[in-house]
């Protein structure tokens, strides 16, 4: 949901703070377009790369931060993000030259973009607090290993009020990340012990304010119920130390 001068990240405890003056390949995009998503959100949270381009379709700031800092769902403190609702952004950004950046370089460039255009300032903290541990339910898992020939691209879409996640090739880390839009009240950490690559489909009702404040529908299904019934997984409430990215400041992005 997201949304050029070349930037370098300040080497300090503050993350996302940037300064002008350095031109280093892999640390900033050559050009970037950021637009507020127009129309209904038919899909969300998709940050993808192809060649030297990064594309974010209907991605909110929390989703962008998760990609930029390689975080799991719930590991971004959202108190500074909730302004004028939770808008999502469409981003198309291109790195300099024809060389294909690494994943780490794409993440670094997105950090710089967030610092420059969204005025992001943030820092990391270790906090011992409530988490949801993703574990295997008593029924056992209800999904299979991925087909080696399956397309690796995942799809997020809407069906009525529900989010439909299709991951043809998913690790448990991918499943945790797919829960980002569930709007849970605590981070999710993987405690399944599963290390394979799996074919995953999950349909659940997000805990958006719009959903919470409206009359429930027959198709509603909580993420807790959906995980257990559809995947044979379970979220257990626990307390554990978790590294959190605390957002100190974030603004609506500057113009293109």
pLDDT in tens, 118-156: 999 999 999 888 899 999 999 999 999 999 888 888 887
Query: What gap in Å lies between CA 122 and CA 66, rounded to an integer?
Result: 13
pLDDT in tens, 20-30: 222 334 478 99
Residue 83, pLDDT > 80, answer no
3-state secondary structure of 99: coil
| Rg for the chain, CA atoms, rounded | 18
Q: Which range, of 35-44, 70-79, 139-148, averages the lowest pLDDT?
A: 35-44
Q: What is the largest CA-CA distance in the chain?
A: 57
Tell me, what DSSP letter sits at residue 227? I
Residue 40: pLDDT band (50, 70, 90) is low
Average pLDDT over residues 40-45: 55
For 236, other C-beta atoms within 10 Å of its C-beta total 11
Q: pTM above 0.85? A: no
Tokens, residue 97: 């030259």
Predicted pLDDT of residue 209:
53
Question: 8: part of which helix (H) or strand (E)?
Answer: strand 7-9
Residue 34: pLDDT band (50, 70, 90) is very high
Q: Which range, of 6-10, 164-168, 182-186, 216-220, averages the lowest pLDDT?
A: 6-10
Q: Which residues pair with 170 in a beta bridge?
A: 198
Tokens, residue 241: 């130390």
Ranges of H-type helices in 87-164: 103-117
Query: What gap in Å lies between CA 169 and CA 39, rounded to an integer?
Result: 30
Tokens, residue 149: 């020939």
3-state secondary structure of 130: strand
């Amino acid at each position: 949901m997201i949304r050029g001068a070349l930037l370098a990240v300040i080497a300090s405890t503050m993350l996302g703070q940037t300064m002008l003056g350095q031109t280093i390949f892999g640390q900033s995009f050559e050009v970037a377009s950021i637009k507020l998503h127009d129309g209904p959100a038919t899909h969300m949270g998709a940050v993808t790369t192809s060649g030297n381009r990064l594309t974010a379709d209907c991605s909110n700031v929390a989703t962008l931060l998760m990609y930029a800092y390689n975080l799991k769902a719930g590991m971004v403190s959202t108190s500074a993000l909730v302004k004028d609702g939770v808008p999502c952004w469409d981003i198309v950004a291109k790195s300099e030259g024809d060389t294909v950046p690494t994943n780490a370089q794409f993440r670094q460039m997105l950090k710089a973009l967030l610092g420059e255009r969204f005025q992001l300032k943030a820092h990391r903290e270790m906090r011992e607090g409530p988490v949801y541990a993703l574990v295997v339910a008593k029924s056992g898992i209800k999904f299979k290993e991925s087909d080696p020939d399956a397309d690796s691209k995942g799809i997020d879409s809407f069906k009525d009020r529900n989010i439909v996640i299709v991951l043809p090739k998913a690790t448990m880390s991918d499943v945790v990340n797919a829960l980002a839009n569930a709007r849970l009240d605590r981070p999710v950490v993987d405690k399944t012990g599963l290390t394979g690559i799996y074919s995953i489909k999950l349909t659940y009702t997000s805990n958006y304010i719009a959903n919470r404040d409206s009359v429930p529908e027959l198709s509603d299904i909580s993420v807790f119920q959906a995980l257990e019934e559809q995947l044979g997984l379970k979220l257990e409430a626990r307390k554990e130390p978790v590294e959190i990215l605390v957002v100190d400041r974030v603004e609506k992005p500057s113009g293109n």
